[in-house]
Amino acid sequence: MNLEELRSVAKENLKGFCRVCSFCDGKACRGEVPGMGGVGTGSSFIANIDALSNIKLNLRTIHNAKDPDICIELFGKKLSMPILAAPITGTSYNMGAKISEEDFIQMVISGSKEAGTIGMCGDGGNPVFYESGLKAIKEENGEGIAIIKPRENSEIIERAKKAEEIGAIAVGVDIDGAGLITMALMGQPVGPKTKQELKEIISKINIPFILKGIMTVDEAQMAVEVGAKAIVVSNHGGRILDYTPGVAEVLPNIAKKVKGKITIFADGGVRSGVDVLKYLALGADAVLVGRPVIIGAFGGGKEGVKFILEKIAKELKQAMILTGCNDIQSVDEKIIYKK
């Protein structure tokens, strides 16, 4: 398998829904929701890309970082890389349905495990979305993370308990999905949560809880206060609210306040290992990858997912050599160029 072949197959399988652009920046597909683009003008999707692009790195080659260790520990489990597959659903209305929901998430969870890391599954208006994710995680002996839409508390707790029962590593809520139109159209409204509602959910769950969709310092601090074990700094891929800043713009201030108190994931616009390194330097503990994983699955199944994740990991390692970082713990703001 090579990247050119994988992209060619993915382009055919995603025809009409994703152009598989040579560089995925959200400009060609702006406003295509459902589909693979960003909501409205597409500015939030594009902001993720631009914010990362604007960060420059200091090249350093007089050091002993010759074979960097890119392993991390997450919720007591050692991973081969600080890169996880983001929760993605909706193959039928976002990706053209050449691959079923069940097959897609199996590819993501299995391919991630084979790469030595973890895949996340998502939730949606169709019960098949979440059920397929749990089935895939169960088949991989619990090596996956289940993310649930911000439904009524009783429904979230019920779904979280199912994830617990199959041995999932963690569970979470993508609270940034509070206004998803697709959920409302399917008669399953979602909405924001109060601190008390979040405390109630977390008090009933016995595995680590993740809050996905944090974009401000105050909400990151609230996540710590309610007992979440991790946050995902994310604007939902630019697919829910137009004109948000890019994740790389807000991450540093969030990290300054909560780094060390809670695990920080960054999600949005990751296309390479260099992007991963930038997010780590800005304060993330690990990153989530979405659209490249879709290309991997639609271009090569679970082997394609593994190929994409390992490609990004290799790029990360090379970038760490060229910035003087021996391990993930040594990556910090010193590698970022500042005028």
Q: What is the tens place of the pLDDT at every residue in 86-110?
A: 999 999 889 999 999 999 999 999 9
| CATH number, position 212 | 3.20.20.70
Which CB contacts under 8 angstroms, 24+ apart, belong to 273-276? 273/311, 273/312, 273/313, 273/314, 273/315, 273/316, 273/317, 273/318, 273/319, 274/57, 274/315, 274/316, 274/319, 275/52, 276/82, 276/83, 276/312, 276/315, 276/316
Does 165 reside within a domain?
yes
Q: Is the overall model pTM greater than 0.95, yes or no?
A: yes
Is the distance from CB of 279 to CB of 294 less than 8 angstroms?
A: no
pLDDT digits (tens, 9 = 90+) for 178-210: 877 778 777 888 999 999 999 999 999 999 999
Q: Which structural domain range is residue 281 located in?
A: 80-316
134-155 tens-digit pLDDT: 999 999 999 999 999 999 999 9
Residue 7 within any structural domain of the chain: no
> Does a structural domain hold residue 67?
no
User: Is 154 a domain residue?
Assistant: yes
Query: Does 75 fall in a domain?
Result: no
Question: Is the residue at 170 inside a domain?
Answer: yes
Q: Is residue 30 part of a domain?
A: no
| C-alpha to C-alpha distance for 115 and 45, rounded to whole angstroms | 27
- Domain tally for the chain? 1
Give the span between the Cα atoms of 120 and 104, in whole angstroms: 12
Domain-located, residue 329:
no
